[in-house]
Structure 1
Amino acid sequence: MKTLGNTGLQVSALCVGTSPLASMPGLYGYPVSEERAVATVTAVLANNKINFIDTSNGYGEDGSAERRIGLALGGRGLPANVVLATKVDPDPRTGDFSGARVRASLEESLSRLGLDRIQLLHLHDPERISFASATAPGGPVEALAELKREGLAEHLGVAGGPVGLMRQYLDTGIFEVVLTHNRYTLLDRSAAELFRDAHDRGIGVLNAAPYGGGMLANQTQQKYAYGARDERIAAAAREMRAAAARNGVPLAAAALQFSLRAPFVDATVVGVSSPSRVAETVALAETPIPDPLWAELDCLVPPSSLWLDPR
């Protein structure tokens, strides 16, 4: 277990992301039944290598990911050692992301999950509104601070994409944890400096999507971070896969452990969609990686001009 920044929360190096459990075939290419989702959460709760679950108000239609987690919890609350993070989202119909909507978002989440408070509450994808709107009086940042004062959220985080914007939110002094996705992987190092700086400041660091949306785990996936990218990204992934194969390890193991071995990453968020994937993810995290492979993979990183946050 690691301490998540200065929050005092003790979390496993692996954090299970529940976006796939919401059943969003348009994003992931496959549906996930309620029965399978509940069984997956149950498997996570039974696994002694993982105590950290990440979800969001906006995952799935009418918060289906949270609702399915709530079904797995069965009204019993969280086990004593489990940490759960969720996120506040705009109104899915109107797009409203005001302070009032933040409070409503949390109330919806608590109802679905069957909880009376959240240990870690993130502002989710704040790139959907301007920074000025987010930090204005009555806006979402002010509302989050109020929710923490009221004890409904123990700790606050910001979870989004663009590195520069994440820095702006951390500089407000409100947020204790930062999460970004697809920006610290074998193929893209956009978030490295942000993560190092946050870690040095005692801010918890969560690195999500270490497989780049699947490209580093599934050789048939030609999109990086769920979008079409320069062909050189896919070519680098193919070369990395060949290098890993020469060393007798699956590329997914190296991709996952690239994040896990970073001294400035507290936990790595990996989406799972079935009970078997929980055990497989733990196995990938424990697969021995020959030291020479890391140097070889470093030589294959695409130029920074191709990263999600180009340099």
Structure 2
Amino acid sequence: MIFGESHGPAIGVVLEGVPAGLALDLEQVQKQLARRAGGKSALSTARKEADRVEVLSGLFEGKTTGAPLAMVIANADQHSSDYEAIRYTPRPGHGDYAGFVASKGCLDYRGGGHFSGRLTAPLVAAGAVAKQILAGRGIWAGAHISSIYGITDAALEDVEALRPVAEKEFPVLDDGRGAAMKAAILEARQAQDSVGGAIECAVVGLPAGLGAPDFGCNVEGIFAQHLFAVPAVKGVEFGAGSAFSLMRGSEANDPFAVRDGRVVTRTNCSGGVNGGITNGMPVLFEVIMRPTPSIALPQESVDLRTGEEVEIEIKGRHDPCIVHRAVPVIEAAAALAACEVLGI
């Protein structure tokens, strides 16, 4: 359970079901949070937060106790006054209006409140714990930016190529294409606009036979539930995804083979899942991320007090693109989903 608001005193997460006896490496948690952090360049928001994790419960003498693990992250760099002008004029593309209605007008509107991308920080912290649990079973998750504004990264031919990507400030396979993506982001920023993109992620090491075709047990459904909880994710595709519509069955089917005494498939168009069950290949998927809704250009809205149509201009510090910062977030959501699939 993730809690808190963008401009509240703190944000955090409570994880239930964490196995007892895990020697939790908090520095690894901090490393994952550092990958997500903004304030590093013109490619992201100017908001700077230390994002130091404090563990409130579930950890004793460096090991998890099996009790709920509660972690909090303080908020310090808020400019709440930037949002007063849009308290009753919802920003297009944001959760402002839907949240206003759902909360009966009691929404914390500052910085997007609970709908803010700021809430991905505790998600990353939770995912960092999940990654350490998975590592003990030989399972890992890695991702890269697959595209930004139509500029595509190199094709992922070997999931092992994702390991070094995690050490890059701009997580792409091909740095040359990454430079072109950066230029597109800066161009959008100069135009007071934003751009979207996509992230490709693989979970490697999940054994065959997990999941079921049924509702609530389907592996793709479990992953999708976690991934759609990430702000800005508007689509999820497994394996070949939408490219299946361009294929024949002879192209889409993954031929079986035996390698080192293990049944594998020569291709992975199905993304490691058949019939809602893992087949032992990497669970491979791509998420589509919308452009950041907060842009400086004038936009049309409605004054919720008067019902009049109005024009708004959004102030504050916002990302011209959130895709590069979202890579560790998607990995975190994938790690949490993998734990659920494993029954942890």
What's the TM-score, normalizing by structure 1? 0.22
Which of structures 1 and 2 has the larger relative contact order (alpha carbons within 8 angstroms, sep 6+)? 2
Q: Greater share of helix residues, 1 or 2?
A: 1
What's the TM-score, normalizing by structure 2? 0.21
Q: Greater share of strand residues, 1 or 2?
A: 2
